[in-house]
Chains A and B, each alone.
Chain A
Amino acid sequence: GQQLNQSPQSMFIQEGEDVSMNCTSSSIFNTWLWYKQDPGEGPVLLIALYKAGELTSNGRLTAQFGITRKDSFLNISASIPSDVGIYFCAGQLSMNAGNMLTFGGGTRLMVKP
């Protein structure tokens, strides 16, 4: 099935470093979402973006909805060991969550204490 292009596929960083990952699509989305998934669990929503150009923060996480509506990035500042996991971007066409999500392939983050 179709997925968004997410990069990098994996990152291995030192605790305290900042992290940046991004997601691009050939299609326009009206909503961009960022999720974190721990092993054996379902994805957990981190940040939701509803408007082109929007910049939203949630603690140490900051995400932006690209102006073209075809891309988004997620930054994590001052990483800590519990940030380890797989981060997924997801695009949605409908703003009221009635339609499906299209997911990226994920960025696996590993943090060295």
Chain B
Amino acid sequence: KAGVTQTPRYLIKTRGQQVTLSCSPISGHRSVSWYQQTPGQGLQFLFEYFSETQRNKGNFPGRFSGRQFSNSRSEMNVSTLELGDSALYLCASSVQAGRTDTQYFGPGTRLTVL
């Protein structure tokens, strides 16, 4: 079974621009979560989607948003990019939401904001 895939793997943007990252979960997985990893803050939860609905949201500004499609694929968007948004963005999928479930991570998208 194929793992979680994320595109693109690397991205360079400038301040003020916006960016969209994509995630395809493991086949049969319906819950998709997004995390941000930075050297200072470590791995932090952004949000979780299940059945096209946001179930949980972390402590990030409204510039960070996401959505999920009917095939469980998910996108996250960051608008008005800031230098501090430079990070590794990780997507994780699990079978379902509403219970504790093992999450499997994709390789991540490395975003650099100049």
Do A and B come together as binding partners? Answer: no
